[in-house]
Amino acid sequence: MSSGTTHMFVGAGAVGLAAIVDDHPHPITHSLLIAPLLGSISGKLPDYIEPALHPNHRQFFHSITVAGLLTIGLIKCYQWKPEEPFEKLIRGLVLLGGMGYLSHLICDSTTPKGLPLVGKL
């Protein structure tokens, strides 16, 4: 079973990897200090939205649907080549935060409960 600590470590690792392979890094979001911190926070984000108070807590924000939509959004974000510094900051935050969130869903999908297709809102 994935614990909160596991989600934080995996999120930090996933975001660190994403920061390394990004061809348009932002100096703030892609720093060696900020990127893993952002990953560990966003790696726990689904459990902040839907707390693990019972075994069936995984609903919409822990679903395959959200994982698919997030993946599409991350691809679009990765392809975006902003010109303005603020837009570059937003791109970095969305890209790295989304990677952390997605890492959480991937970890949860490997557990016996898995992820629901859609879940309840």
Mean pLDDT of 41-67: 89
What local confidence, expressed as pLDDT, does residue 35 receive? 86
* 1: confidence class by pLDDT, cuts 50, 70, 90: low
Cβ pair 91, 78 in contact under 8 A: no
Residue 80, classified by CB atoms within 10 Å of its CB into exposed (0-12), middle (13-18) or buried (19+), is: middle
What local confidence, expressed as pLDDT, does residue 5 receive? 84
Mean pLDDT of 32-42: 88
pLDDT at 18 over 70: yes
pTM: 0.89
- Encode 12-45: b = buried (16+ Cβ within 10 Å), e = exposed: bbbbbebbeebeebbeebbeeebbbbbbbbbbbb
112 vs 23, higher pLDDT: 112
Mean pLDDT of 33-55: 87
pLDDT at 32 over 90: no
Mean pLDDT of the chain: 88
Give Cα separations from 118 to 31, 60, 88 (angstroms).
35, 6, 32
